[in-house]
Amino acid sequence: MKRRDLKSRKGITVCSFPATKPNRKTILTESLLERDFCYHLEWDDDVVAYESQPEPIRYFYRGTYHIYTADFLVDFVDESQKLYEVKDTRFLDDEIEEELNVIGEYANASGFQFEVVTEKRIRARPYFTNLKHLCDARASTPLPQDLENEIINLVSSNGCMSISEILAQIDVNLIDIYRLIALHELNFEINSIALGLTSKVSSNNE
């Protein structure tokens, strides 16, 4: 079955995302919500590759066959694969959920896991805002290694420091600290605390 080509489709919002898995490439999505989901895929260390608009699957529902194209196909480190449907909850009702359950069964029969994700998970704050900061920082220009080591050693010797305290002692920029967090050289509670100057970080060297 033929894949959908977003470049040639008219009347839809086509967004782009600078993916890095497995290599640097541009991912095209049909919505801003799908683009935002890419930040989660980039951050998840269990994800090794992902693509939008993968090969469609055929399924039978209410007396006829249909063609379904997932929003994403994701490859994981354990060699499993999952199809993702990104959906705004405004467009979910009982009938759509029933059909998505059928699609999930056909996806499973074809060797794929299947999951529906909504804006409630994708844009949950402060996690999502933190993700955007850290994914952008990870792609920034790295500091010289000796300067990175100086930052890590400073934090390690103090046990825990706010980002503003680090910047007061070492002449670097905020994005440089974010990059070290993104590379897991510095620890930060990404799930529940908004990233900023007052954020406390620790070192993996402790």
DSSP 140: S
- DSSP codes of every residue in 57-92: EEEEETTEEEEE--SEEEEETTS-EEEEEEE-GGG-
pLDDT tens digits for range 36-54? 999 999 999 999 999 999 9
Rounded Cα distance, 38 and 52, in Å: 10
The residues, any chain, with a CB within 8 Å of residue 162's CB and separated by 6 or more, are 197, 198, 199, 200, 201
How far is it, in rounded angstroms, from Cα 101 to Cα 105?
Answer: 6
Distance CA 110, CA 43 (A): 27
> Is the backbone peptide bond immediately before 54 cis, with ω within 30 degrees of 0?
no
| Same domain, yes or no: 84 and 133 | no
Please provide the size of the chain in residues: 206
Q: Is residue 140 part of a domain?
A: yes
State yes or no: pLDDT of 5 exceeds 70.
no
Tell me, what CATH number does 75's domain have? 3.40.1350.10
For the chain, percent of residues with pLDDT exceeding 70: 93
Name the packing angle between helices 174-182 and 145-158 (round to 10°).
80
**Proportion of the chain above pLDDT 90, given as a percent:** 90
Q: Is the pLDDT of residue 10 over 60?
A: no
Say how far residue 140 (Cα) sits from the centre of its chain. Answer: 17
Query: 66 and 105 share a domain?
Result: yes
What pLDDT does 142 receive? 95
**How many domains does the chain contain in total?**
2
The pLDDT score that the predictor gives to residue 23 is 87
**Structural domain for 187, as ranges:** 127-203
DSSP notation for 3-63: PP-GGG--SS--EEEEE-SSS-EEEEESSHHHHHHHHHHHH-TTEEEEEES---EEEEETT
pTM score of the predicted model: 0.89
Residue 143 per-residue DSSP state: P
Q: Final residue of a domain: which of 122, 145, 162? A: 122
Read off the amino acid at residue 20.
Answer: T
The answer as to whether 1 is a domain residue is no
Examine the pLDDT at 205 and tell me if it is beyond 80. Answer: no
Averaged confidence pLDDT in the chain: 93
